[in-house]
Amino acid sequence: MSSPVHFRLGQLSFTWDRAKAEANAAKHGITFEEAATTWLDPFALERFDEEHSDAEDRWLRIASSLRGPLLVVWSADAETEGQIVIRIIGAWRASRRERDWYEKQGKIR
């Protein structure tokens, strides 16, 4: 694991692996800083990722970033010094199937 990045957005605290973030940006064109802005979307949807939650609880979030695109963000929560820190694992633009699911939930603006 490379060095961790710590990022604050208002009252929210995030962390991620620097190398993982660089690889994600190269592959998907989405930075983890942009992915973090999805926590500001009041229409965000989250679901528990049971398939990938053996070692830790992981979540899939579908929400708009501040730049506008609908993103899927894969994350886990960690507690550090009594504060919840959101660890971003991956982020990508929502696929048609993911957008359709989001729209069916009645959350589209």
DSSP H stretches of helix in 1-109: 18-28, 32-36, 96-104
pLDDT band at 14 (very low <50, low <70, confident <90, very high): very high
Predicted confidence (pLDDT) per residue in 29-54, tens digit: 999 999 999 999 999 999 887 776 67
Per DSSP (E only), the strands in 1-109 are: 4-9, 12-17, 45-48, 58-64, 70-80, 83-93
Domain boundaries, the chain: 4-104
Instruction: Compute the CA torsion angle 88, 92, 98, 99 (nearest 10 deg).
Output: 110
Q: What is the pTM of this model?
A: 0.87
Range from 16-20, 50-54, 78-82, 91-95 carrying the lowest mean pLDDT: 50-54
Considering the chain, what is the average pLDDT of its residues? 90
Write out the two tokens for 46: 């989250």
